[in-house]
Amino acid sequence: MEPSIEVRPVDDTLRAPVAALSVHPEQQAFVGSVSESLADVAACPGSEALALLLAGQVVGYVRIDARATALGDHPLAEGAVALRSFLIDASRQGQGLGIRALHAIQRYVAARHPGRQRILLSVNVRNAGAVRAYLRAGYVDSGELYQGGPAGPQHVLWAPLSPLNPGGTS
Protein backbone atom coordinates (compact mmCIF):
# COMPACT_ATOMS: atom_id res chain seq x y z
CA MET A 1 0.00 0.00 0.00
CA GLU A 2 1.28 3.45 -0.93
CA PRO A 3 1.86 5.94 1.88
CA SER A 4 -0.92 8.51 2.32
CA ILE A 5 -0.58 12.15 1.48
CA GLU A 6 -0.78 14.15 4.70
CA VAL A 7 -2.35 17.63 4.69
CA ARG A 8 -0.93 19.95 7.34
CA PRO A 9 -1.29 23.68 7.96
CA VAL A 10 1.88 25.54 7.04
CA ASP A 11 3.65 26.51 10.25
CA ASP A 12 7.17 27.81 10.91
CA THR A 13 8.69 24.33 10.45
CA LEU A 14 7.05 23.88 7.03
CA ARG A 15 7.34 27.43 5.66
CA ALA A 16 10.82 27.08 4.12
CA PRO A 17 10.23 23.70 2.42
CA VAL A 18 6.87 24.93 1.10
CA ALA A 19 8.41 28.16 -0.20
CA ALA A 20 11.08 26.08 -1.99
CA LEU A 21 8.47 24.23 -4.09
CA SER A 22 8.45 24.97 -7.80
CA VAL A 23 6.56 24.04 -10.93
CA HIS A 24 7.67 23.70 -14.52
CA PRO A 25 8.10 27.09 -16.24
CA GLU A 26 5.05 26.57 -18.47
CA GLN A 27 2.89 26.05 -15.34
CA GLN A 28 4.01 29.24 -13.58
CA ALA A 29 1.33 31.44 -15.17
CA PHE A 30 -1.36 29.14 -13.83
CA VAL A 31 -0.08 28.62 -10.30
CA GLY A 32 1.80 31.79 -9.42
CA SER A 33 4.37 32.13 -6.69
CA VAL A 34 4.09 30.09 -3.49
CA SER A 35 5.69 32.96 -1.57
CA GLU A 36 3.04 35.39 -2.85
CA SER A 37 0.30 32.91 -1.97
CA LEU A 38 1.67 32.52 1.56
CA ALA A 39 1.77 36.31 1.98
CA ASP A 40 -1.79 36.58 0.66
CA VAL A 41 -3.00 33.91 3.10
CA ALA A 42 -1.58 35.95 5.98
CA ALA A 43 -3.61 38.98 4.82
CA CYS A 44 -6.88 37.18 4.02
CA PRO A 45 -9.15 36.05 6.86
CA GLY A 46 -10.49 32.57 6.21
CA SER A 47 -7.53 31.52 4.06
CA GLU A 48 -5.35 28.61 5.01
CA ALA A 49 -1.99 27.57 3.60
CA LEU A 50 -1.56 23.80 3.55
CA ALA A 51 1.50 21.67 2.99
CA LEU A 52 1.13 18.32 1.26
CA LEU A 53 3.51 15.72 2.67
CA LEU A 54 4.48 12.24 1.58
CA ALA A 55 6.44 10.17 4.08
CA GLY A 56 7.22 13.37 5.98
CA GLN A 57 8.56 15.24 2.93
CA VAL A 58 6.82 18.32 1.51
CA VAL A 59 5.74 17.47 -2.04
CA GLY A 60 3.06 20.08 -2.65
CA TYR A 61 1.05 23.05 -1.53
CA VAL A 62 -2.54 24.26 -1.64
CA ARG A 63 -4.42 27.26 -0.36
CA ILE A 64 -8.02 26.95 0.71
CA ASP A 65 -10.41 29.79 1.39
CA ALA A 66 -13.32 29.22 3.73
CA ARG A 67 -15.58 30.94 1.22
CA ALA A 68 -15.39 30.83 -2.57
CA THR A 69 -15.65 34.60 -3.02
CA ALA A 70 -13.23 34.78 -5.97
CA LEU A 71 -15.99 33.52 -8.28
CA GLY A 72 -18.36 36.24 -7.09
CA ASP A 73 -22.00 35.34 -7.33
CA HIS A 74 -21.49 32.04 -9.16
CA PRO A 75 -24.27 29.68 -7.97
CA LEU A 76 -21.79 26.99 -6.93
CA ALA A 77 -19.93 29.44 -4.66
CA GLU A 78 -22.69 29.28 -2.04
CA GLY A 79 -21.73 26.62 0.52
CA ALA A 80 -18.32 26.07 -1.06
CA VAL A 81 -14.71 26.19 0.05
CA ALA A 82 -12.33 27.48 -2.62
CA LEU A 83 -9.24 25.52 -3.62
CA ARG A 84 -6.45 27.76 -4.92
CA SER A 85 -2.76 27.60 -5.83
CA PHE A 86 -2.66 23.79 -5.84
CA LEU A 87 0.66 22.38 -6.96
CA ILE A 88 2.87 19.34 -6.77
CA ASP A 89 6.59 20.10 -6.92
CA ALA A 90 8.04 19.79 -10.41
CA SER A 91 10.42 17.05 -9.23
CA ARG A 92 7.48 14.92 -8.05
CA GLN A 93 5.02 15.42 -10.92
CA GLY A 94 4.01 12.41 -12.99
CA GLN A 95 3.96 10.04 -10.00
CA GLY A 96 0.21 10.11 -9.34
CA LEU A 97 0.62 12.37 -6.31
CA GLY A 98 -1.74 15.06 -7.60
CA ILE A 99 -4.83 12.87 -7.55
CA ARG A 100 -3.89 11.36 -4.20
CA ALA A 101 -3.31 14.85 -2.81
CA LEU A 102 -6.69 16.06 -4.10
CA HIS A 103 -8.42 13.19 -2.30
CA ALA A 104 -6.51 13.99 0.90
CA ILE A 105 -7.47 17.67 0.56
CA GLN A 106 -11.15 16.68 0.21
CA ARG A 107 -10.98 14.67 3.43
CA TYR A 108 -9.20 17.50 5.24
CA VAL A 109 -11.67 20.13 4.04
CA ALA A 110 -14.70 17.96 4.88
CA ALA A 111 -13.42 17.54 8.45
CA ARG A 112 -12.36 21.18 8.86
CA HIS A 113 -15.44 22.74 7.24
CA PRO A 114 -18.33 20.38 8.03
CA GLY A 115 -20.96 22.96 7.04
CA ARG A 116 -19.72 23.21 3.45
CA GLN A 117 -21.10 21.08 0.62
CA ARG A 118 -18.35 21.32 -2.01
CA ILE A 119 -14.87 22.39 -3.00
CA LEU A 120 -14.88 24.85 -5.87
CA LEU A 121 -11.99 25.85 -8.10
CA SER A 122 -11.21 27.41 -11.41
CA VAL A 123 -8.51 26.09 -13.73
CA ASN A 124 -7.22 27.73 -16.88
CA VAL A 125 -8.52 26.21 -20.11
CA ARG A 126 -4.92 26.05 -21.39
CA ASN A 127 -3.80 23.98 -18.38
CA ALA A 128 -4.94 20.67 -19.89
CA GLY A 129 -2.86 18.49 -17.56
CA ALA A 130 -4.43 20.04 -14.48
CA VAL A 131 -7.94 19.76 -15.95
CA ARG A 132 -7.35 16.03 -16.57
CA ALA A 133 -6.02 15.52 -13.04
CA TYR A 134 -8.99 17.27 -11.43
CA LEU A 135 -11.47 15.26 -13.50
CA ARG A 136 -9.65 11.99 -12.68
CA ALA A 137 -9.84 12.95 -8.99
CA GLY A 138 -13.62 13.20 -9.22
CA TYR A 139 -14.13 16.90 -9.83
CA VAL A 140 -17.08 17.83 -12.03
CA ASP A 141 -16.88 20.42 -14.80
CA SER A 142 -19.76 22.87 -14.35
CA GLY A 143 -19.74 23.51 -18.11
CA GLU A 144 -19.18 27.21 -17.48
CA LEU A 145 -16.13 29.38 -18.00
CA TYR A 146 -14.98 31.99 -15.52
CA GLN A 147 -13.62 34.98 -17.40
CA GLY A 148 -11.96 36.77 -14.47
CA GLY A 149 -8.67 34.84 -14.40
CA PRO A 150 -5.42 36.76 -14.94
CA ALA A 151 -4.20 34.17 -17.48
CA GLY A 152 -7.46 33.87 -19.43
CA PRO A 153 -10.69 31.87 -19.26
CA GLN A 154 -11.00 29.12 -16.69
CA HIS A 155 -13.13 26.03 -16.26
CA VAL A 156 -15.22 26.04 -13.07
CA LEU A 157 -14.87 22.65 -11.38
CA TRP A 158 -16.28 21.33 -8.15
CA ALA A 159 -16.20 18.24 -5.96
CA PRO A 160 -18.75 17.25 -3.31
CA LEU A 161 -17.78 17.10 0.33
CA SER A 162 -19.15 14.23 2.32
CA PRO A 163 -18.28 13.46 5.93
CA LEU A 164 -18.55 9.72 5.18
CA ASN A 165 -15.73 9.11 2.71
CA PRO A 166 -14.85 12.25 0.76
CA GLY A 167 -12.49 11.68 -2.10
CA GLY A 168 -12.02 7.96 -1.61
CA THR A 169 -8.64 6.79 -0.46
CA SER A 170 -5.29 8.35 -1.07
The CATH number given to whatever domain includes residue 155 is 3.40.630.30
Report yes or no on 97 lying in a domain.
Answer: yes
| 44 belongs to a structural domain | yes
Q: Which domain holds residue 58?
A: 5-160
Q: Is residue 167 part of a domain?
A: no
* 30: in domain: yes
Residue 108 lies in a domain: yes
- Cα atoms in the 13 Å half-sphere on the side-chain side of 88: 19
Residue 65 lies in a domain: yes
Is residue 149 assigned to a domain?
Answer: yes
Q: Structurally, how many domains does the chain consist of?
A: 1
The reply to whether 107 falls in a domain is: yes
pTM of the model: 0.88
Q: What pLDDT does residue 72 have?
A: 63
Instruction: For the chain, 170 residues long, give each residue's pLDDT as a single digit of tens.
Output: 677 899 999 999 999 999 999 998 888 777 888 988 999 898 888 899 999 999 999 999 999 998 776 666 667 778 889 999 999 999 999 888 999 999 999 999 999 998 899 999 988 888 888 899 999 999 999 888 777 666 678 889 999 997 544 444 44
Q: What is the pLDDT of residue 100?
A: 94
